Structure 1
């Protein structure tokens, strides 16, 4: 069937709206008509890495309505409202032990640009498109996906607000709730208050963390962070960020979370930890952050990486929806909707103070 997609033809070009052929769902696949799709920095970072001339359809925070299912699909039916998340095999050792975001086939299922068998789900005017991004490629009006990607949600769910729960909000909130696990007497510092960082701030507040410090360069974003759960805010451009954090937290933060990937920020985050403190990293930047190993060893600090908040979407997306319904996860405060056709405007707005653009269909 034909659908419309926002197609990238290179790292230095914008997205163009094009009619494109989408394959019928195979026996183990699901066809979803998109209602909303979040725009994530991962989309743009991957776009920047693909060579010019390769037509590509990104998008990995889709939400919509199931239109058709393959004969082997269970637990989903046409008409279901769904949030789409990352793909996993469900059967490897890591998946079986509850760590699906570290699936042994994660790269092949989410970042190969094709189905695992090498076939494309989308075909455009220049031939097969680089697609199946995170098992969905949801910068399009329809997406082919699988049961592992699909989280069925109540019919009344606001899919515009829920769409980023499949990745960005899941990453930020999951890194706090599943990895760092701070308690009421803890102190949490979040470096960078984009969509992921804001979700981390909200998760900290939802968990009742006593001290939550948001660090950013944008006064507007810091003001918003204070509205959604931060107890303190710091301008990262100010002097002695580490000292100020230590003052606020009475000697050092028990937990820290970096969303920037900037080596100097990561070093500050590690230095700002209290003895036995923990730092989680989610942003991909330079491979060498230059962390002082003596500081880690001498004070028993922990630094670890995290993908998708170490979350199983089937369990974690419903939790985020429950938090939102209870007013404990006010992500509607940070979402800005853009018509699908204005995807380039949405991308440009991410460079200003729009925290989380979501495309609507």
Structure 2
């Protein structure tokens, strides 16, 4: 629960945070009279600003906080210069961790603007939008309890709601309009299509059966069925991902060929093709959605490799789709990956590579530009040692 005082009375509501962040230790009410500089100072001190004014002005305040966190004037310029000096002599892995620390600090400041929601997810503030449907899709049916969430998280929630309605076009699934994936809140969207294209173009060892490990939105299962695979067994630990995959596979008309199972990695049995696109970066995720990118200790990657041989039919292939970004960041050397493959009793039959095409790869101002510019995404064709 989160508590605050208003007109001398203590009020409380349920604290909501998708990332599991703790509620601010100190919460004060704020409205349109609060200067942005004062709000920024309070946010840096860890104070939560429970908004009681015009809703649109809360958005303006959040934008003002963004400008101040990204500012390169005054003390911010000095701090940025100091950070640049530190980064100039840092190793790639140190640059990555400095970048993550800066991101976390920025996120903490921007999470200071808090919005109260009524028991039906409505927002009882002037000029507040009706986001009840978006909240219901993300959080489930309203319980009648008042709650408080950060404005930044609510904006992300609504953005995900719009993406879910619009969908993401995936050319590998064929011609429009039956080629769109609709990601649910908390499920990573296939906006980087190069890994999907690899699965769509690599010759299949068999069309009888495939396992899709970590199904997510269901995009790879759909691609495999569209390529003629007669049956796919797809697994995921996350109920949201399984619900999302079910929705997408049904929309695309391929659900009858796909069995969805809640499981940690492999389903029972063996298959001639086992496909996995694990998180690429061995680092701690700061929110559930980041688990699609960050995996501390490469646990999913190592688990997939360790169990692959016993789930492959004789002559079968395991397709590991993996970016080498971690190698360029100094977080996981290629020799370590090859060692894990060998230790698992696997050999590399072949590898198909593609250069990612996304905005950050071309952004010279990005802190990780050097690593992103060198990044290659690969589909490793693995087989059990005979």
TM-score (norm 1): 0.34
Bigger share in strand: 1
TM-score (norm 2): 0.32
> Which is greater in Rg?
2
